[in-house]
Amino acid sequence: MNAQGNSETSPEWPTEIHEIFRSSGIRQVAYVPDSGHAELIRLCHADPGIVCLPLTSEEEGVGLLAGAWLGGQRGALLMQSSGVGNCVNLFSLAVNCRFPLLILVTMRGEWGEFNPAQVPMGRAVRPVIEQMGGTVHRADEPDAVKPTVEAAVKLAFNTSRFVAVTLGQKLIGAKSFSVK
């Protein structure tokens, strides 16, 4: 089953993001495990050209990517929307030190959400990132993912900015809760 609950093959957009990472020189990918990013994480782990680093908290990823940049490598941070709240203090590091911070955020609290606790942070992701000095791009359809991520990568690394791409819950699929 894919994230949308269908038995069809995996969506193509994680492969497209992985290809963008490779072609743009991203060599470090930090993440907190998340089913919305599962295929992309699997692709990054399987790629010998990318160091894929699991985190205990999303905020660790901001410091890790600052160090990667200072060491001459590009990186990306993958997280779920609830993780944005964990990073608020660290986002100022990227803004004040002017290093590129690229984050990809799988959204919760939107399309078909079952968990009411996910709704507040889902609604706050964009304003929180923008208030902390970041730019937000969004993809809700499979065809929008590649151009959106490509544009975000260029903006982040060409201008040393904090840029986030939110991957809408309509794209990744709503999680469901079932009692067996």
Please tell me the predicted confidence (pLDDT) of residue 10: 60
What is the extent of the structural domain holding 55? 13-172
Residue 8 lies in a domain: no
SS3 state at 4: coil
SS3 state at 177: coil
Answer left, alpha or beta for residue 132, where phi above 0 means left and psi between -120 and 50 means alpha. Answer: alpha
Question: Which pair of tokens denotes residue 167?
Answer: 């991957």
Q: Give the pLDDT means over successive 10-residue stretches in the chain (180 positions).
A: 44 95 98 94 98 96 97 97 94 95 92 79 92 97 97 98 95 71
Cα separation, 128 vs 57, in Å, equals 18
Residue 180 lies in a domain: no
Residue 106 lies in a domain: yes
Domain tally for the chain?
A: 1
Please tell me the predicted confidence (pLDDT) of residue 144: 97
Please tell me the predicted confidence (pLDDT) of residue 174: 75
Cα separation, 35 vs 33, in Å, equals 7
CB atoms within 10 A of CB 98: 10
pTM score over 0.85: yes
Angle, CA of 106, 76 and 137, to the nearest 5°: 50
Residue 4 lies in a domain: no
Residue 160 lies in a domain: yes
Please tell me the predicted confidence (pLDDT) of residue 5: 42
Please tell me the predicted confidence (pLDDT) of residue 104: 98
Q: Are 62 and 90 in contact (CB under 8 A)?
A: yes
Q: What is the CATH number of the domain that holds 58?
A: 3.40.50.970
| Extended beta strands in 88-132, E state | 101-106
Please tell me the predicted confidence (pLDDT) of residue 178: 62
Cα separation, 77 vs 87, in Å, equals 11
Cα separation, 100 vs 107, in Å, equals 22
Residue 94 lies in a domain: yes
Q: Between helices 58-70 and 88-97, what is the axis angle to 10°?
A: 20
Question: Which pair of tokens denotes residue 143?
Answer: 């065809």
Please tell me the predicted confidence (pLDDT) of residue 172: 85
Residue 177 lies in a domain: no
Residue 3 lies in a domain: no
